[in-house]
Amino acid sequence: MEPIKVGLLGFGTVGSGTFTVLRRNQEEIKRRAGRGIEITRIAVRNPAKALAALGEAASTVQLGSDFNAVIDDPAIDIVAEMIGGTGIARELVLRAISKGKHVVTANKALLAVHGTEIFAAARTQGVMVAFEAAVAGGIPIIKALREGLTANRIQSIAGIINGTTNYILSEMRERGLDFATALAGAQALGYAEADPTFDIEGVDAAHKLTIMSAIAFGIPMQFDRAYVEGISKLAAIDIKYAEDLGYRIKLLGITRRTERGIELRVHPTLISAKRLLASVEGAMNAVEVHGDAVGTTLYYGKGAGAEPTASAVVADLVDVTRLHTADPGHRVPHLAFQPQSLADTPVLPIDDVTSGYYLRLRVADVTGVLADITRILADAGISIDALLQKEAEQVADNGETDVVIITHDTLEKNVNAAIARIEALSTVVSNVTKLRIEAHG
């Protein structure tokens, strides 16, 4: 049988990695897919650069700068969108779908923001849109959620799904680096997005979490409802105090089914140092999924980089190759659930989320200050799990001291109300730093 023909849009890290892996493992891949898979056309903004990167393989492909020409080529069966972003990538993906082409993409932003539109268009045309590479790079988490765990009522997902921030947090904790130095290291290693704001402010993780949440709970993509808080304001002292208390701080993406709705949130989070997720260091990713039948499962691997991400892209190319002749009704639905069965369960605002909390504040070391603070917490129905009084490190001999309070699970709005009252005390000389604790799982 003739090989299936792929048109590649973009030839950056992921595009070139996909080309390399597909060529290197073509025999194995053909044995699995039942027919060869060949990238026959590549469109890229700067063909000269791509030509140099292709080397001797350049003779096997038609290289140009016209994206539409690749999409419109009747010989192309699958369009692999490796450009990224929500601008031109959206137009090209929709155009490919309208031409009846199957699409493989690594573009988490595009799907998290425009997924509903893209999947609807794909359904109308009876084509597949495959996106394993969009979440956690080489970890087959989409396959696991959508197919492997399909028997389960999924209860929660907690993931380290941004390698850049995990690398930064590891470097800050292990080597005592400041945030900017650790970020520069992550950029030099090629982990960060072109605009690192998406990494450090939690946006990249929220894109990935939005996709996983939709698949896990059978709800539409709702990136605009996600609560997103990054690590750029995280103080080194909190990493240290957390460690003293037996916790590590990770940028976690958490999505959970509750009686009142779905939690969908990304923020720096304390987790017990004993938990497997806590030992995920450097740029590695890990996703913990809790299902009612299977219990807790954990998926670990490289979440970025040319070949780990290509591993996921090629897996999608194989899936499309195997299934493109199948009746669309017999394929796995894009979001795991049949589109007419998606639920309208609300995504909870952050005020209505339940979590444990780490509160740090600086107080004048005078009689009664702790009693005042604990009374405010008790009035708000907030139960204290641990309370530590630390010697304030940056203030010499002025009698001030840092207090760290760990609370049991409570409603965020109750904590916020208590914080406002605590900050109004004359003996409290700083704002309260609030971090969430993930005690489930």
115/291 with CB nearer ligand HSE: 115
**Cα gap 210→219, rounded to integer Å:** 10
Q: Which amino acid is at 301?
A: G
Smallest distance from ligand HSE to CB 215, Å:
17
Given 138, 163, 333, 356, the residue binding ligand HSE (CB under 6 A): 163
97 contacts 127 by C-beta, under 8 angstroms = yes
Select the span of 77-85, 118-126, 158-166, 394-402 touching ligand HSE (CB under 6 A): 158-166
Binding of ligand HSE by 162 (CB under 6 A): yes
State which residue, 9 or 192, has the beta carbon closest to ligand HSE. 192
**Using the rule CB under 6 A, is 192 a contact of ligand HSE?**
yes
Report the interhelical angle of 163-175 vs 236-244 (nearest 10°): 70
- For the bound state, the minimum distance from the C-beta of residue 241 to ligand HSE, rounded and expressed in Å, comes to 26
d(CA 435, CA 431): 13
To ligand HSE, the closest distance from the beta carbon of 11 in angstroms equals 17
Q: What is the DSSP letter of 349?
A: P
241 contributes a contact to ligand HSE by CB under 6 A = no
Residue of 73, 81, 132, 193 that binds ligand HSE (CB under 6 A): 193
Min dist. Cβ of residue 105 to ligand HSE (A): 12
Q: How many CB atoms lie within 10 A of CB 275?
A: 18
- By beta-carbon proximity to ligand HSE, the closer residue of 134 and 363 is 134
208 is catalytic: yes
State the nearest-atom distance from the C-beta of 287 to ligand HSE, in Å: 12
Helix (H, G, I), strand (E, B) or coil at 190: coil
Q: How many chain residues touch ligand HSE (CB under 6 A)?
A: 11
CB 405 within 8 A of CB 373: yes
* Token pair for 170: 């590891």
E strand or H helix that includes residue 392: none
Q: Which is nearer to ligand HSE, 163 or 253 (CB)?
A: 163
- Closest to ligand HSE by CB, 143 vs 324, is 143
Q: Would you say 411 and 390 are in contact if contact means Cβ atoms under 8 Å apart?
A: no
Least Å distance between CB 193 and ligand HSE?
4
User: Which residue among 119, 131, 179, 191 contacts ligand HSE (CB under 6 A)?
Assistant: 191
201 binds ligand HSE (CB under 6 A): no
Q: What is the rounded CA–CA span in Å between residue 406 and residue 419? A: 13
Subset of 113-142 contacting ligand HSE (CB under 6 A): 137
Compute the least distance from the CB of residue 183 to ligand HSE, in Å. Answer: 11
CA angle 56, 60, 65 (to 5 degrees): 95
Alpha-carbon span 186 to 166, nearest angstrom? 10
372, 251 in Cβ contact below 8 A? no
Burial class (CB in 10 A: 0-12, 13-18, 19+), 399: exposed
The minimum distance between CB 373 and ligand HSE, in angstroms, equals 38
Complete DSSP assignment for 34-56: SS-EEEEEEE-S-HHHHHHHHGG
Interface characters, 293-332, with ligand HSE (x: CB under 6 A): ----------xx----------------------------
Q: What is the spatial distance between Cα 395 and Cα 401, in angstroms, rounded to a whole number?
A: 8
The residue range among 76-84, 90-98, 185-193, 245-253 that interacts with ligand HSE, by the rule CB under 6 A, is 185-193
Only segment of 189-197, 221-229, 346-354, 387-395 that touches ligand HSE (CB under 6 A)? 189-197
CA dihedral in degrees (337, 343, 346, 347; nearest 10)?
0
Residue with tokens 């350049």: 58
Nearer to ligand HSE, 163 or 291 (CB): 163
Q: Is 204 in the site for ligand HSE (CB under 6 A)?
A: yes
Contact 221, 115 (CB under 8 A): yes
Binding mask 252-291 for ligand HSE (x = CB under 6 A): ----------------------------------------
First to last CA, the chain: 48
Q: How far is CA 364 from CA 5, 391, 393, 400, in A?
A: 70, 11, 14, 4
Of the candidates 101, 108, 208, 250, the residue annotated as catalytic is: 208
Q: Taking the CA of residue 110 as centre, how many other CA atoms within 13 Å lie in the half-sphere pointing to its CB?
A: 26
- Complex with ligand HSE: residue 155 or 162, whichever CB lies closer: 162
- Smaller CB separation from ligand HSE, 156 or 162: 162
Query: Which residues does the annotation mark as catalytic?
Result: 208
Q: Which residues bind ligand HSE (CB under 6 A)?
A: 137, 162-164, 191-193, 199, 204, 303-304
